[in-house]
Amino acid sequence: MPFKSLSDNTFRILTTFLALLTIRFSLKLVKVLFCKTKDELRYNYGIIRCGAALFDQLDKAEILAYRKDDYQWNVLVADKEKARRKYKNAVVDDATIDDILLLYVKGEQAK
């Protein structure tokens, strides 16, 4: 063992330092998806559930992420009330944190 001559305390300090260095390096590789408060996500974000015809008519500037399911499109928007006023015939559901994460991770993000 190469560290045999080190005291137990020195060995613990060295391994802790290496662990912290590894964590710091790993955090630099993580991509931040969004930085919003929980309340903003829960109370402002919404999901438009629509068919292909309405999806083509949506204002692409308002779309954060979208995903095609078997029979519908799920479209994440930052302002659900605006979407409800603008698209009166569309179903606009409240977005849960799980819904938001699913669309960001498994869906396509709008550019």
pLDDT digits (tens, 9 = 90+) for 2-33: 555 556 666 666 666 556 555 555 545 555 55
pTM above threshold 0.75:
no
pLDDT tens digit string along 72-106?
999 999 999 999 999 998 999 999 888 988 888 88
Question: In whole angstroms, how far apart are CA 45 and each of 42, 53, 80, 82?
Answer: 6, 22, 6, 10
Q: How many CB atoms within 10 Å of residue 62? A: 17
Which pLDDT score is estimated for 87? 93
Say what the pLDDT of residue 6 is.
56
The per-residue pLDDT for 11 is 64
